Chains A and B, each alone.
Chain A
Amino acid sequence: MTDLLNVDAVTKRFGGIVANNRVSLAVTEGSIVGLIGPNGSGKTTLFNSIAGTHAIDEGSIRFEGREISTLRVPEIARLGLVRTFQQTRVFRLMSCLENMLVSVPQQDASLAVMIARPTAEARGRAGELLEFVGLASKRDLPAGSLSFGQQKLLEFAMALMNEPRLLLLDEPTAGINPTLINGLVDRLKRARDHLGITLLVIEHNMRVVMNLAEHIYCLAHGEILAEGRPAEIQSDPRVVAAYLGAS
Chain B
Amino acid sequence: MSALGNKTAIRIAILALAIVAPFALPAFQVELTFLWIMIVFALSWDIMGGQAGYNSFGNIAFFGIGVYAAAILQIGLFHDVAAYTAAAGGETLTLTPPQYFIGLFAGLAAAPVLAIAAAVVLGVALLGLRGHYFAIATLGLGIAAGELAAGWAWLGGSSGVQVPVYPGSLASQRLLFYFLSAALGIATFTILRRLYATRFGLVLNAIRDDEDKAEALGLRTTRYKIVAWCIAAGFLGLAGGLMGHIIGFIDPREVAFAGATFGVWMVLMAILGGKGTIWGPVIGAAIFHVTRELFWTYLFGWQNVALGLLIIVVVVFFPTGLLGWVRQRYPKLFALNLAASPADRARP
Contact = CB atoms under 8 A, between A and B. Distances in A.
Interface of A: 51, 72-75, 77-78, 82-83, 85, 89-95, 97-98, 101-103, 105-106, 109, 111, 113-118, 123, 139-140, 158, 162
Nearest to B227: A114
Contact of A116 (B198, B216, B276): B198
Nearest to B340: A140
B341 A73 contact: no
Contact of B218 (A74, A97, A115): A74
B190 to A, nearest CB: 14
A94 B205 contact: yes
Contact of B216 (A83, A94, A118, A139): A83
B227 A89 contact: no
Contacts of B206: 91, 94, 102
B127 to A, nearest CB: 14
- Please indicate which of the listed interface residues A75, A95, A114, A162 has the most CB atoms of chain B within 10 Å of its own CB: A114
A2 to B, nearest CB: 23
Given A118-B199, A140-B340, A93 B205 contact: yes
Contacts of A72: 215
A154 to B, nearest CB: 11
A101 B342 CA distance: 12
B195 interface: yes
Interface in B2-20: none
Given A74-B218, A77-B218, A102-B202, 7 more contacts: A74-B220, A94-B205, A95-B341, A106-B219, A106-B220, A117-B197, A140-B338
A106 to B, nearest CB: 5
A113 B223 CA distance: 12
A118 B346 contact: yes
Nearest to B339: A140
Interface string B194-220: 010111101101101110111111111
B198 A117 contact: yes
B348 interface: yes
A117 B227 CA distance: 17
Contact of A105 (B210, B213, B218): B218
Rank and list the top 3 A-B pairs by shortest CB-CB distance, nearest first.
A77-B218, A91-B209, A89-B213
Given A94-B206, A95-B343, A109 B216 contact: no
A91 B220 contact: no
Contacts of A140: 338-341, 344
18 contacts: A51-B216, A72-B215, A74-B217, A74-B221, A77-B216, A91-B214, A98-B342, A102-B202, A102-B205, A103-B217, A105-B218, A109-B219, A111-B227, A115-B198, A117-B199, A117-B348, A118-B346, A162-B217
B203 A82 contact: no
B106 to A, nearest CB: 25
A174 to B, nearest CB: 17
Nearest to B195: A115
A109 B213 contact: no
A103 B213 CA distance: 10
A102 B203 contact: yes
B215 A118 contact: no
B224 interface: yes
A160 to B, nearest CB: 12
B219 to A, nearest CB: 5
Contact of B343 (A90, A97, A111): A97
- Please indicate which of the listed interface residues B195, B205, B216, B348 has the most CB atoms of chain A within 10 Å of its own CB: B216
A192 to B, nearest CB: 20
A73 B338 contact: no
A109 B205 contact: no
Nearest to B200: A114
Given A73-B215, A94-B205, A114-B200, A89 B210 contact: yes
Contacts of A93: 205, 208-209, 276
